[in-house]
Structures are given as structure tokens and as C-alpha cells.
């Protein structure tokens, strides 16, 4: 399959380096508390408009593995995964006109007066973009919903509104962007699903399966030594197949709540995705 040549065992790229930090506990109300403490000790941060940290594969890692790094900075997403829910049974009212939220869509903006509402972290990305909470979603439908929200929430459109509402718009709009970015990408969507189930993924964890390790090195060498785009395209097609395979196996594992298997699928998807990126760079 890959070019068989293993005599020069070059170290894997720095992408594969083991993370040195011990895995910290997931977010708890305790860390939430400390972050507040720090916020109060630096009042400067309170006044400024904040945007939540993105949830893509690179920064999500930051977010979950080393939460303390965020402590100096306001981070709206930090309470996202704390299961702090604002009792969904309670009826929401518009802060501006007091209209009652319609139950049909997430209450991010008021239907009556169009005011942007404060961020409600209990609404997950799937709810925001109006899709079922599962792995196999129709990605094509996300863009339209995403743009619909941005037309109601984007900070550019509330330029003339109060400072308070501009703050809400900044938060809500950033959250919708994160939702869109997270759910469009299969890998980050998979990780987000596990996260919602309270499962932490260490995508940087070194793979122990020697067979996979050998395969990855072979891919790397094959890519490095590829003579022309035809060869690269061929390798890419094979990687694409692998990605699809592990994507399916994630879906199966997740459905049957086999989280260990799901994590292992995610790690493999991560490797193939990176290999693919290297090919794209060379193409």
C-alpha cells in the first residue's frame, strides 16, 4: 500500500511530540470559581468585550488540557462544559421588551423587538444550528442556518445599539461562528460530541499501535519522495479512504456508546487529516 521503506526511522514531526503537561481535570465549578477570582483582581478585563475561544482541534486542546492558562483571560466558553444549565424549563423573557421566547428556536434574539439576548451556555452547537445531535449530519444545511443567525446577531448590525447589546451580539455571534466551524469539520464535530458526553479526548496522545505508527511513517516518506502530483493524488485518495473508514467507525462506536473506540477513531482521523494537509502543502 504505502511505499515499503523503513530503514531510515526519522523522528516523527513535532506534531507527534508527546504533550508534557499532565492531563488536568475537566472544567468544574471549582476552576470556574478561580477564574472569577482572578477576574475580580484585574478589573480591566471586565469592561472589555470578549469573545469565546474557538473550538477547533488546536485550541480546543488548549481549552481542555490546560484550563489554567485561560485564567488570566475572560473566557466565555469556560462555563460551556460545566453543565451549568440555566434550567431549560424556565420561560425566557426578552431583556428589552419582556416578550416571551417562542419555543421553536433557540432564544438568541428576540422575535418581537429583534434585540440580541445574553449568551445561554446551555444551548449546544447542534441546537443553535438546528440539527439533530449526532455525527452524521447534513453539513450543507449548516451554512444557511449559520448565516441566518449572523444576520440577527452579528456585531456589525448592532453598531448603533447600546453597549450592553453590542456585548451580547459579540458573544452570540462568536458562539454561532464556533458552532458552525466545529460542526462543519468532521473531526472537531466528533470531538465536540464526545465533549458533550463528558468524555475528554487527548488528540495529541501518542499512538501506541505499532502498525499504525509504521503506516504513518510510510505515508510521510511516500509523500516526501513523491515524484509528481500524480503520485501525491494517489496517496491522497488512499488517505481519504482511511478518513472515511475511521469516520464511519467513529459514528458506530459513538452510537453504541463505546467511547474508547470512538477516541481511538478520532486519533486516527487526526493523523490522516494531518497527512492530508502535508500533501495539500506539496500539491
- List contacts with other proteins (CB under 8 A): 13-15, 17, 19, 21, 31, 34, 38, 42, 44-45, 48-54, 56-59, 61-62, 66, 68-69, 71-73, 143-144, 147-148, 150-151, 154-157, 159-162, 166, 169-170, 173-174, 177, 181, 203-204, 270, 274, 277, 280
| Distance between CA atoms of residues 126 and 183, nearest Å | 8
C-alpha cell of 215? 503506516
Name 174's Cβ contacts closer than 8 Å, sequence gap at least 6: 51, 52, 76
- Provide the 3-class DSSP secondary structure of residue 193: helix
Residue 113 contact among Zn ion, other proteins, none, beta carbon within 5 to 8 Å by kind: Zn ion
Residue 112 contact among Zn ion, other proteins, none, beta carbon within 5 to 8 Å by kind: Zn ion
In the complex, least distance from residue 108 CB atom to Zn ion, rounded to whole angstroms? 12
CA pseudo-torsion sign 24, 26, 27, 33: negative
Nearer to other proteins, 175 or 251 (CB): 175
Is 133:196 a contact under the CB 8 Å cutoff?
A: yes
- C-alpha distances out from residue 4 to 8, 236, 262, 273, Å: 11, 17, 29, 21
| Distance between CA atoms of residues 124 and 194, nearest Å | 13
**Residue range at the interface with Zn ion (CB under 5 A); choices 63-71, 92-100, 116-124, 164-172:** 92-100
Please tell me what DSSP assigns to residue 52: P
Residue 69 contact among Zn ion, other proteins, none, beta carbon within 5 to 8 Å by kind: other proteins
In the complex, least distance from residue 83 CB atom to other proteins, rounded to whole angstroms? 21
In the complex, least distance from residue 249 CB atom to other proteins, rounded to whole angstroms? 21
Nearer to other proteins, 17 or 241 (CB): 17
Amino acid at each position: 500500500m504505502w511505499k515499503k521503506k523503513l530503514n531510515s526511522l526519522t523522528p516523527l514531526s513535532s506534531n507527534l511530540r508527546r504533550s508534557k503537561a499532565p492531563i488536568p481535570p475537566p472544567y468544574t465549578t471549582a476552576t470556574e470559581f478561580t477564574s472569577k477570582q482572578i477576574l475580580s483582581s484585574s478589573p480591566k478585563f471586565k469592561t472589555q468585550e470578549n469573545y469565546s475561544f474557538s473550538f477547533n482541534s488546536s485550541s480546543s486542546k488548549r481549552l481542555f488540557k490546560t484550563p489554567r492558562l485561560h485564567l488570566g483571560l475572560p473566557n466565555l466558553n469556560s462555563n460551556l462544559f460545566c453543565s451549568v444549565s440555566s434550567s431549560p424549563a424556565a420561560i425566557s423573557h426578552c431583556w428589552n421588551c419582556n416578550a416571551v421566547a417562542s419555543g421553536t428556536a433557540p432564544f438568541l434574539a428576540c422575535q418581537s423587538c429583534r434585540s440580541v439576548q445574553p449568551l445561554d451556555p446551555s444551548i449546544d452547537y447542534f441546537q443553535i444550528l438546528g440539527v439533530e445531535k449526532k455525527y452524521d449530519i447534513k453539513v450543507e444545511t449548516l451554512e444557511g442556518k449559520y448565516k441566518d443567525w449572523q444576520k440577527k446577531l452579528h456585531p456589525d448590525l448592532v453598531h448603533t445599539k447600546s453597549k450592553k447589546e453590542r456585548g451580547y451580539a459579540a458573544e452570540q455571534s462568536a458562539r454561532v461562528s464556533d458552532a458552525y466551524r466545529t460542526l462543519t469539520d468532521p473531526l472537531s464535530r466528533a470531538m465536540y460530541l464526545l465533549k458533550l458526553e463528558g468524555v475528554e479526548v487527548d488528540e495529541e496522545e501518542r499512538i501506541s499501535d505499532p502498525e499504525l505508527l509504521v503506516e504513518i511513517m510510510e505515508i510521510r516518506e511516500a509523500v516526501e519522495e513523491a515524484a509528481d502530483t500524480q503520485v501525491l493524488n494517489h496517496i491522497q485518495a488512499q488517505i481519504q479512504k482511511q478518513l472515511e473508514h475511521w469516520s464511519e467507525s467513529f459514528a458506530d462506536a459513538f452510537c453504541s456508546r463505546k467511547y474508547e473506540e470512538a477516541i481511538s477513531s478520532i486519533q486516527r482521523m487526526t493523523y490522516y487529516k494531518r497527512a492530508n494537509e502535508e500533501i495539500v502543502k506539496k500539491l
